[in-house]
A = this chain, B = another copy of it.
């Protein structure tokens, strides 16, 4: 059930969804209650003990609009859980994931191959599938158009806050839910993001790939890879209008920066931009070396404009290259000392025309607390 407009707006945070200075959202966006999904979608959640404390840990998301092209084999629904990644669980793990799809499909009157499954949590622990399958039934019974909150709860693990939004612009609605806080590099992991819209998507795979390249592929928390990641974009086309130019990218960028800002124990987000590199790969390598340097990350945490640490990380990434000296004049690190939660760092090489940027979290006491006390 969609909330009346007035009620819907009440639960929007005062600072709005597009909080980051690095995200330029298209003009004329209206923010709605993020619990309310784009028209044509329903979601719900339940708990089965994977996370303990009665927390929602199983979720369902379904698209009720049956466009012909979706019927021809696309994903119609997603079944998710948090608290157990169902990774490194062998043949039984594959059977368990398939059982989740089959159960969800039966509840939703779909075929199992129309249901995506996405799971994050501890690795190497068998799924308590006997508890999970009944919870999928419970989640199915709770499906509603304003179930975005329950679905969002069902995907979070160590997240300190939910990442979600519902936006209206240009006659279409977009809703999105993401999770992620650790093991965030390279190439998305560990994170999940679900996007629903009633817009017409002319080239959904291409639009999504471009938006992911500009967002989830440009972040790091601790340089650690994951076994589990998914971004799912579903469009009904019912609104008869396309997504406003740049909206999908803006939503995913804000989500990506939220994930970094929530990076396990993070207090600040940095953005390093490397310019003047000899190749795109070199720009990327140098930017990631800086973004993943524990010395740079502690300087971001400690508000220390320590350009020497940036120089050493860059120099280490360029070992063997014929390199001009990287000195204070090549580096703009002053923003590290700023009061703000977002700090912009620039490194100018003199080797070519290529550039790359990466968003990264700081390294503070909370990172240690979370990761030293989290036990298998």
Contacts and interface: CB of A to CB of B under 8 A. Distances in A.
A256 to B, nearest CB: 20
A177 interface: no
Contacts of A305: 376
Contact of A123 (B298, B301, B308, B373): B308
Contacts of A88: 308, 311, 325-328
Best-surrounded residue of A301, A364, A368 (most CB of chain B within 10 A):
A368
B327 A372 contact: no
B302 A372 contact: yes
Contacts of A116: none
Best-surrounded residue of A182, A304, A371 (most CB of chain B within 10 A):
A371
A302 B124 contact: no
Given A88-B325, A123-B312, A307-B124, A372 B299 contact: yes
Number of copies of this kind of chain in the complex: 2
Interface string A215-230: 0000000111111000
A367 interface: yes
Best-surrounded residue of A183, A312, A315 (most CB of chain B within 10 A):
A312
A23 B225 CA distance: 33
A37 to B, nearest CB: 33
A117 interface: no
A315 B311 CA distance: 29
Contact of A124 (B90, B123, B328): B328
A294 interface: yes
A144 interface: no
Interface string A288-307: 00000111001101101111
A3 to B, nearest CB: 41
A78 interface: no
Contacts of A312: 123, 183, 224-227
A222 B371 contact: no
Contacts of A375: 302, 304, 306
Contacts of A313: 224-225
A365 interface: yes
Contact of A90 (B227, B315, B327): B327
Nearest to A303: B372
A29 interface: no
A316 interface: yes
A371 B363 CA distance: 10
A237 B304 CA distance: 49
A70 interface: no
Contacts of A294: 222-224, 294, 363, 367, 371
A373 B375 CA distance: 29
Best-surrounded residue of A90, A225, A325 (most CB of chain B within 10 A):
A225
Nearest to A337: B375
A4 to B, nearest CB: 46
Interface of A: 87-88, 90, 122-124, 182-183, 222-227, 293-295, 298-299, 301-302, 304-309, 311-313, 315-316, 319, 325-328, 363-365, 367-369, 371-376
13 contacts: A87-B308, A88-B311, A88-B326, A88-B327, A122-B308, A124-B311, A225-B319, A295-B371, A298-B368, A299-B371, A299-B372, A302-B373, A364-B368
